[in-house]
Structure formats: structure tokens, C-alpha cells
Amino acid sequence: MTVCPTDDRHVAVLAFPYGTHAAPLMNLVRRAAAEAPEVTFSFFSTKRSNASVFAGLNQEQLHNIRPYDIDDGLPEDFVPSGNPQDPVAYFVKAMPANYRTAMDEAVAKTGRRVTCLVSDAFFWFCADMADELHAKWIPLWTAGPHPLLAHISSHQIRETLGPDGVIKNKEIDFLTGFNGLRASDLPEGLTEEPEDPFSMMLDKMGDALPRATAVAINSFNAVHLPIAHELESRFHMLLNVGPFILTTPQSVTPDDEGCLPWLETQEERSVVYISFGSLIIPPQEELFALAGALEEGKYPFIWAFRGNPEKQLPQGFLENTKTQGKVVGWAPQMQILKHSAIGACMTHGGWNSILDCIVGGVPMISRPFFGDQMLNTATLEHVWEIGVGLENNVFTKEETLRALELIITSEKGKMMREKVVELKDFAMEAAGPEGDSTKNFCTFAGILSGTHSEKLHQHPHGFRGIRSKIAGAFAAAQNKFNRRHHPKH
């Protein structure tokens, strides 16, 4: 097998510029670039996305990473309608031509052909592009393992559930790791033939991912071993390289509003931390219900609020709760979740937030809004048993009070905390010096620099032989988890 000299290596990084996709990919690439300073990394995203992702990074941190702006596909006379999906639809239609144009520019400027593609997993076209370039392809799936298995099983899901599957809310017991989950928990577009550009992109992705050299995922093996084994069987190579909060460079969020000193004055496991991510603001009637539940239940809280709390929260709420809690514009989320005063986290069920809660050892109350959030919410409640959802997936005052009491004060809530702390221990172990995620990152970096494939080729049983050796260790870890929390089994 011929391996190009390391100093000719050129890795093209294709980011999806919307939501929380580009930043995690950049963090992974930053770590890989530091490990291989002689490799050139070209990072492709829209001008707006690149401005955000590269903000605050100095030349030393970007020694061998260079940004390239790609066309966002918006027409010159585009007027925002307020629907955040509109720019995404234009962008998806512009692919892959916008990436090809920018990649040609990068090849011309560097004098190096592209030897490896690292992309967001959404980009199905990278399978064909890698073949054309005779390059490796490593897509990064930034969400969790259950949605990943669902997307690569989309044809099986439609055939098994049938057109009335969602209406009858059938169980998804035919997929590994999905016991207790139902058709209504699946992301939009999985139970019917896709029609909009975004759903069609995800459908093509499901078909293309098995062609990749390796699939990287922001997760860790022991978060759910049966599904890890299933994904391994579907791909040439599965690389759990997370949680990124532990395994990749992270920016430090300043505590400008004094959340941490305030937490020092609170009782252990009594405070509710509330955050719905950087994009989501619940409907006003739900904000009122949530605020009413906090005030009536007298639960101490920190609320990272996106918007204008004086206009969007009930009149008098901020004054009535000024000693009970804090409503802040931005908060150091990971530091807060690690604090012993935190008893629960209210979240939108995004994968990054779930991982943050796992690493913090905090059980969750999840109100999902779109995408994989419904499936994540059902998984944390019914599979991992480390949190709860809400009836009909909406905040009412009564339902919010029920969920808070369940997690903060009940015996079941105590068991949830024990289980999430168990997963925290597995995550910390995975990210440690000898952990699976650390070893998988070394494999990832080796593929980029052209040093890993040959080693696998020389192994007498290939990657599957290596995998069979570590399967016993995975099973032992899962058995330990089951014995502790399900002794009757």
C-alpha cells in the first residue's frame, strides 16, 4: 500500500454552517492539527460561519488551518422571512458545487491535492468526491448514537412501520437499543419519503455513510454498548471520540453575572439550571407556565435566557424571585453543571447539552422542539433512565411541578442521579489517557496523516479482529452497569 509523504497531506474540512455543527468540527480539527503540524488543513464554511468559528483564535492555534469562505446559496434579493429553515434550504441546494469551487481554490493556493476529506456527516456527496479524489473520507456525526442508527436505517423504518406507523405510534423494537421508543419519537422525515431539501439530504446521508473510511461521532462507547456494536457492524470503522467537552479544546465562558458565587450559597442538589441552547426560545405560554412553576414551587434556579426576560416573562416574576434565582443572558454551563448545588437541568434535549449534563452528573427534564431532540428525550427517559420528558412535550405549570418534584425530591430522582453519575464515570474513563475515545482519536489523527491505514492492513484480522478483542471489555462494563441498576436481571 502506497502512502503519500506526510508533508504532502492536505485535509479538506467541510463544515455545515448552521446550528451547532461547525464549532464542534473545528474543535476536533484543532486537536488533530496540533497533533500533525506538518499537515495542511483547509476549513470550508460560509463567511458568517467562519467569522464565528475562527473568532478569538490566534495564529499559533491556527498554525496549519486556513479558512475558506463558500457561497451560502442565498439569492442577491433574499429577504429573511423569519423562518430559520429558509437559508438552510438555499444552502443545501447550492451543494456540492459551492464546496468544489472553494476546494479548487485551496488546492491552487497550497499546491497540495486533497488527500483526506473530513466533513459534517450531512454531506453525502463526500462519498463520491472522495472516490474522485482518491482520498479518505471521515464524516463527523455531531449528534448521538440513536439518531445515527435511525438515519442509516431509514428504509427499514419506513418498510416496517408502514404509512400509518406514526399515527398508531408503533414501537421501534426492531432496531437495536430502541426498546421503549416509539415512532413519534423519531426525527421528522424518517417515517415517510422525504420531500424538503433538508430531509432529502439526511436520507442521502443515511445511504452514503457506510461508504466512509471511518465515521467519527461525538460520543463514547459505553453510553450504550449494544448500539455501539450495531453501528460498528454497519460501518468500515466507528470512532467514538467524545464527549467533546472532555476531548477537544473548549472556549472558557466568563461568569460575568456571578452564577458560581451564587451557587455557593445554595443547598446541595437543590438548584434547577435552565437552558434551551443558543437558538431556542419556548412559546410565551410555556415561558409563563415554567416561570409560574418555579415561583410556586420555590425552587432555586439559574435561567440562561435567550431573549428579553423583562418583556417575555410574566410581570412581577423577576422581582418576586430575585432572591430565589438568577435570570442571566449567558452562563458558564459546564462549570454550573459540575457544581454540587445543581439538582436538575431543564434542557431542549440537544445532544451537546445532554453530554454536558452527563459529564456534570445531572439528571434532566427535557422539552424537545425539533430534529433529534424528541428521540434524545425519549432515550434519556426510557433507555438510560437519567431524566424525564413532559406530557405532550410542552410545559404546563402542573407538569413542570411534577417533573421537578420527581427529580429533586423523589427516590426515583435519586436513582436517576446515580445512573447519570455512572455514565459520567464511563465518559471520564473514555476520555482518559488509556480510554477508548483517546485511542479512537489517535486512529482518527493517523488516518489524516496517512499512518494508520497501513497498520490496519498489516493486522492479521484487520479492524474487525481488533474490535472483537475489545468487545469483551465493553460487555464487562455494560454488565457492571446492569448489575448495579437492574439487579433483578
* DSSP per-residue codes, 84-105: THHHHHHHHHHTTHHHHHHHHH
Q: Which CATH number applies to 259-425?
A: 3.40.50.2000
pLDDT over 80 at 250, yes or no: yes
- Tens digits of per-residue pLDDT, 260-281? 999 999 999 999 999 998 778 8
Q: Which CATH number applies to 6-250+427-481?
A: 3.40.50.2000
Average pLDDT over residues 115-119: 97
- Tens digits of per-residue pLDDT, 373-393? 999 999 999 999 999 999 999
Nearest partner of 208 among 95, 306, 98, judged by Cα: 95
pLDDT over 90 at 401, yes or no: yes
Say what the alpha-carbon torsion angle 306, 331, 62, 435 is, to the nearest 10 degrees. -120
H-assigned helices in 7-144: 22-35, 47-53, 85-94, 97-110, 126-133
Average pLDDT over residues 129-150: 97
Average pLDDT over residues 79-95: 84
Residue 342: what pLDDT? 98
21 part of the active site: yes
CB 237 within 8 A of CB 215: yes
Same topology for domains 6-250+427-481 and 259-425, yes or no?
yes
Which segments of 331-377 are extended strands (E)?
342-347, 364-366
Instruction: Output the nine-digit C-alpha cell for 289.
Output: 407556565
Cβ neighbors of 295 (< 8 A, separation 6 or more) are 317, 320, 321, 324
Residue 19: what pLDDT? 86
Residue 57: what pLDDT? 84
Which of 72, 120, 356, 372 is the catalytic position?
Answer: 120
- Portion of the chain with pLDDT greater than 70, in percent: 91
Which of 7, 8, 10, 21 is the catalytic position?
Answer: 21
pLDDT over 60 at 59, yes or no: yes
- Tens digits of per-residue pLDDT, 94-105? 999 999 999 999
**Rounded to an integer, what distance in angstroms lies between the CA atom of residue 268 and that of residue 402?**
20
Partner residues linked to 141 by β-bridges = 217
Number of H helices, E strands in the chain: 23, 13
Nearest partner of 91 among 198, 241, 182, judged by Cα: 198
Q: Where are the domains of the chain?
A: 6-250+427-481, 259-425
- Tens digits of per-residue pLDDT, 470-483? 334 434 444 444 44
Q: How confident is the model at residue 82 (pLDDT cuts 50, 70, 90)?
A: confident
Residue 418: its H or E element: helix 411-431
Residue 141: its H or E element: strand 136-141
Amino acid identity for residue 418 in this structure? E
Instruction: Output the nine-digit C-alpha cell for 261.
Output: 458565587
Average pLDDT over residues 8-21: 94
Return the higher-pLDDT residue of 66 and 477: 66
